[in-house]
Amino acid sequence: MIEQILHSLSLFLPETTLTVFFCAAIIVGLVAGRTSRASLYVALIGIALATWFAIQQAGSSEGIFTGMVVVDPFATFFKLLIGMSAIVILLFSLYSAEVQSTAHRHIEYGSLLLAMTLGMFLMAGSTNLLMMVLAIELTSLSSYVLAGYTREATDSSEASLKYIIYGAVSTGLMLYGVSILFGLTGATDFYNINRALATGSVNATALLVATIMIVAGFGYKISAVPFHFWTPDVYEGAPVTITAFLSVASKAAGFALMMRFFKTCFIDANALGLPAGMWASLQGFEWNKLLAILSVLTMTLGNLVAVWQNNLKRLLAYSSIAHAGYMLMGVVVLSDKGLAAVLIYFIVYLFMNLGAFYVVMLVANKTGSEDIDTYKGLGYRSPLISVAMVVFFISLAGIPPTAGFIGKLFLFAALLDAKWIWLAVVGALNSVISLYYYVRVVRNMFLRDPERNAEPVVFSAPQVVIVLALLIPTILFGLFYSPIVELANASVVMFGMK
Amino acid sequence: MNVETIFFYLLGAVFVGSALMMVTRRNPVIAALYLILNFFCLAGIYLTLHAQFIAVIQILVYAGAIMVLFVFVIMLLNLSDERRLSEAISFKKIVAGGLSVALLLELLYIFVYRKTDLPTLNAERSIEIGTVESIGRHLFTKFLFPFEVTSILLLAAIVGAVVLAKRRLD
Amino acid sequence: MLEHYLPIFMMILGGVLFGIVMVKLNEWLGPRRPTEEKLTTYESGMEPVRTARERFSVKFYMVAVLFILFDIEVVFMYPWAVAFRELGIIGFVSMTVFILILLIGLFYVWRKGALEWD
C-alpha cells in the first residue's frame, strides 16, 4: 500500500506542486502583509512549475491512486493547456487595473487561482465518478469567488451570486445523475461502469435520464445551451482576467472531463468491423445524437444572440458559447479524428480568445468602458492594438490565414469523414452569422471616425509584449499548423483505451 | 413483523407528519423546528436500513450545522408579518402541484404493484457496508486520495467564505 | 441489529421526557397569582418598546459558514477514529496531512480577523 502511494505520488508531481503552492500562497500572503503582491508571484511560480512537471510526464500512461486519476497523454495535453492559460492570466493580472485596485485581496486572488488550476488539472485526469464530482466542485467553488472578486462593483457580486445559483442547480442535477448511474452499474470507476453497461442488463431509460442529468453538469462547465444562462452575466460582471480564464481553461477542463467520461463509459468496446480510429456508441444508447442536438442549439443560440450585443464582454461571452457548440461537433463524430480536431481547436482558441479578452481589458483599463462605441476609431488612436484585435477577431470567425481557420477546417473534415453532413452545414452557416458581429467591431475600429479630442492611446512595453505573444501564434499556427496537429494526434490517447 | 418494520412505520409516520407541519406553518422559526424533527426521523429511518454512518451524518451535519444556517437565514431575512403572506393561486403553484401529484401517483403505482426490476439487496452485505468501521476502512484505503482532495476543497471554501462574507478584509 | 441502538434511543427519550416533565411539573406545582406588573416582559427594568424579533447581523453568517466547514472536518474524523487501529501508519499520516491543510485555513481565518467581532 505504501509503495503504491509513493509510486502514485511520483506521477502526481504537477498537482502536488499546485497544492503546496496553494498553501504557500496563503501563508506567504498573510506574512507579507496586506497590500503585498507576493501571493500573485507565488501563484505564477507554482503554476509555471506545475506546467513544467506536467510536460515532463509526456508519454507516460498509468492509473494512479487506486485508479482515481490517470496520467496519460490526453490529460497531459489539457494540463499543459490549462497551465499555459493560467500563466497568461496571471501576467494579465499584474497589469489589470481591476485586480490592482483591490490590492488588499491579492492573497485570495493568487491562492484561489491556484486552487482552480488544481481542480482543473484533476478534472483532466479523473476516471472515477467521485473524483469527477470533487474536481468539478473544487474548480467551481474557486471560480464563484473569483467571479465576485471585485466586491465593490455591484455587477461583480451579482455575477458571483448568479454563478453560484446556477452552479448549485447543475451540480445537484449532476449528482443525481451520478448516483443513478452508480445505482445502475454498481461502480464508480469509469472502466468498470463501461464493463457493467456492456453486459446489456441496464435499463435504457434510466441510463438516458442519468446521462442527461450528468450532461447538465458538463454543459454548465462548458456553457452549452440550455445550461448557459449564467455565462453572459458572469462574463460581464467578473473581472476581465477571470472572464478570460473561465472562457478558456474552465471550458477546456469541462471538455476534457466530458470527452473522457463519454469515451471510457459509453462506447462499445467490443464493436467489430469499425475502421481504424472510429468507435461505436453503446448498443441501444446513441448518446452522440444527444450531443449533436446540444451542439446545434449551442452554436445557433450563441451566434444569433451575439449579433445584438453592444458590450464587448457580453459579445465575447456569446461567442464563447458558440465556440463550445463548434467543439461539441468534434465529440459527436465518435472518432479519434474528431477528438484531435477538438484538441487542435482548443490550442487555437487559447491564443485567439485570450488575446481578444486581453485587448478588451487594455482598452477598458484606459477608457473604463467595454462598450462597442468606445472602439470607434480606435484604429487611429492605437494602431498596433487594433490590428491585433482584428487578427484575433477574424481568427475567431475562422477566416484564413489565421489559426482559427485551421481549427474549423479540422473539425469540418472530421465531420465530413464520419458522414455528418447536415451538422457540418449547420456549423458552416453559423460561422457565416458569426462573421457579422466580429466584423461589426472591426468596422467600428477602422471605418468610423474617433470622437473629437480623442487622444492616442499608448500602452506600456510589457503589455505590448503580451499582446504580441498571443498574436504571433494566432497567425503562425494558421500558416504552419503541422506541429499542433501532430501534438493533438499524439494526445488523443487515453489510458486503458484502444 | 419485526422490530425494524415497526420502527420504520413509526418513524415514517412522524416523518411525514413533521414534513406536513413544516410546510403548513406560517411562522418560519416553527417550520424550522419541525424540519429538525424531520431530520431526526430521517436519521432513525437510515438506522432501520442499517446505514449507520449516514444516520450519524444526518444528525451531525444536517440537524446540527445546516440547521444553524437555516435558522440564521430566517433571522436575517426577518419576515415579520408572515400572516400577510399572499396565498393566491398562481400558475406556478398549479404546475408545481400537478408535478407533485404525478410523482405521488407514480410512487404509489410502483409500491402497490411492485413493478421494479431492481435486484434484491443482500441484507448481510448492506449491514456490513453501512457501519462506520467499514466506511473508515474504505475511505482510508481505496478512497484515500479523494479524501485528501476534500481537505483542499474545504480550504478553498474557507478562503472563499471569508472573501465573500467578511465586510472589511484587512 | 436495531437493538444495539436501544441505549441511544432510551437516552433521547429520557432527555425529551425530562424536559417536558420538568416544565409541566413547574406548572402544576407552583402557585400562580398573576398581576399586571408580573406579566410585563421585564418586571423591573425598561419597558420593551419594539418587537423582540430583531434582524440578525450578517456577521453571524461568517460564523455559521465556518462552523459548517469545520463540522465537515469532524465528519471525516469520526470513521477514521473508529477504524484507526486497522489503518495503521497510513491512516495516521493521511489524517495529519488533512488536518495540516485545514490548519492553514484556520490560520488564515484567524489572521484575517474573521473570528473577531469587528
User: How far lies A325's CA from each of A228, A236, A383, A431, C92, in Å?
Assistant: 11, 20, 33, 11, 48
A27-32: long-range contacts (C-beta < 8 A, 24 or more apart)? A27/C104, A27/C107, A29/A106, A29/A107, A29/A110, A29/A111, A30/A107, A30/C107, A30/C108, A30/C111, A30/C112
Tell me which of B54, B69, B152, B168 to substitute to probe the interface with A (most A C-beta atoms closer than 10 Å): B152
Taking a C-beta distance cutoff of 8 angstroms, is the pair A290, A274 a contact? no
By the CB < 8 Å criterion, does C67 face chain A? no
Q: What is the pTM of this model?
A: 0.92
Residue B156 counted as domain residue: no
Which has the minimum average pLDDT: A435-439, B10-14, B41-45, B76-80?
A: B76-80
Give the pLDDT confidence score for residue A151 in this predicted structure: 64
CA distance A284 to chain B (A): 19
Residue A68's CB is within 10 A of a number of other CB atoms, namely 25
Residue B149 counted as domain residue: no
Mean pLDDT of chain A: 90
Indicate the domain borders of chain C.
2-111
CA distance C4 to chain A (A): 29
Please name every residue paired with A267 in a beta bridge, in sequence order, or none if there are none.
A281
ipTM (interface pTM): 0.92
Q: What is the pLDDT of residues A350-400, one digit of tens each?
A: 999 999 999 999 888 888 888 888 888 888 888 888 999 999 999 999 988
Q: What is the pLDDT of residues A305-355, one digit of tens each?
A: 999 999 999 999 999 999 999 999 999 998 999 999 999 999 999 999 999
Cα separation, B148 vs A15, in Å, equals 12
CA distance B153 to chain A (A): 5
Q: What is the pLDDT of residues A398-425, one digit of tens each?
A: 988 899 999 999 999 999 998 899 999 9
Residue B170 counted as domain residue: no
Taking a C-beta distance cutoff of 8 angstroms, is the pair A239, A108 a contact? no
Average of pLDDT values for A153-167?
86
- Nearest-by-CA chain C residue for A5: C90
Number of folded domains that form chain B = 1
Distant-in-sequence, close-in-space partners of A161: CB < 8 Å, separation ≥ 6:
A148
Cα separation, B28 vs B18, in Å, equals 14
Higher pLDDT: A228 or A276? It is A228
Q: Which domain holds residue B21?
A: 1-81
Interface contact flag, A27 C90, Cβ < 8 Å: no
Identify the CATH number of the domain in which residue B35 sits. 1.20.120.1200
Please identify which residue in the block is written with the cell numbers 475562422.
Answer: A398
Residues of B in Cβ contact (< 8 Å) with A115: 152, 155-156, 159
Interface contact flag, C108 A23, Cβ < 8 Å: no
Average of pLDDT values for A223-230?
90
Which has the minimum average pLDDT: A71-80, A128-137, B119-128?
A: B119-128
Residue B15 counted as domain residue: yes
Alpha helix stretches (DSSP H) within A371-459: 378-381, 383-397, 403-417, 421-446
Taking a C-beta distance cutoff of 8 angstroms, is the pair B47, B55 a contact? yes
> How many A×B Cβ pairs under 8 Å?
76
Helix-helix angle B67-77:B28-48, to 10 degrees = 170
Beta strands in A235-334 (DSSP E): none
Residues shown for chain C: 118
Interface contact flag, B170 C90, Cβ < 8 Å: no
Would you call A126 helix, strand, or coil by DSSP?
Answer: strand
Cα separation, A121 vs A139, in Å, equals 9
Taking a C-beta distance cutoff of 8 angstroms, is the pair A379, A314 a contact? no
Give the pLDDT confidence score for residue B148 in this predicted structure: 94
By the CB < 8 Å criterion, does C20 face chain B? no
Residues of C in Cβ contact (< 8 Å) with A23: 101, 104
Dihedral (CA of B12, C11, B137, A20) sign: positive
User: How far lies B22's CA from each of A122, A253, B19, B59, C37, in Å?
Assistant: 41, 42, 5, 18, 36
Cα separation, B38 vs C15, in Å, equals 18
Residue C18's CB is within 10 A of a number of other CB atoms, namely 10
Cα separation, A178 vs B143, in Å, equals 17
- Nearest-by-CA chain C residue for A26: C108
| A205 band by pLDDT with thresholds 50, 70 and 90 | confident
| C116 band by pLDDT with thresholds 50, 70 and 90 | confident
Q: Which C-chain residues 37-96 have CB contacts (< 8 A) with chain B? A: 51, 53-56, 58-62, 64-69, 71-76, 78-84, 86-87, 90-91, 94
Interface contact flag, B155 A142, Cβ < 8 Å: no
Alpha helix stretches (DSSP H) within chain C: 6-29, 59-82, 84-111
CATH top class, domain C2-111 = mainly alpha
Instruction: Report the candidate in A183, A212, A415, A435 with the shortest Cα–Cα distance to residue A303.
Output: A435
| Binding partners of B (≥3 Cβ pairs within 8 A) | A, C
Tell me which of C12, C82, C103, C108 to substitute to probe the interface with B (most B C-beta atoms closer than 10 Å): C82
C54, C69, C75 member nearest B157 (Cβ): C69
By the CB < 8 Å criterion, does A30 face chain C? yes
- Nearest-by-CA chain C residue for A29: C108
Residue B47 counted as domain residue: yes
| B1 band by pLDDT with thresholds 50, 70 and 90 | low
Indicate the domain borders of chain A.
267-498
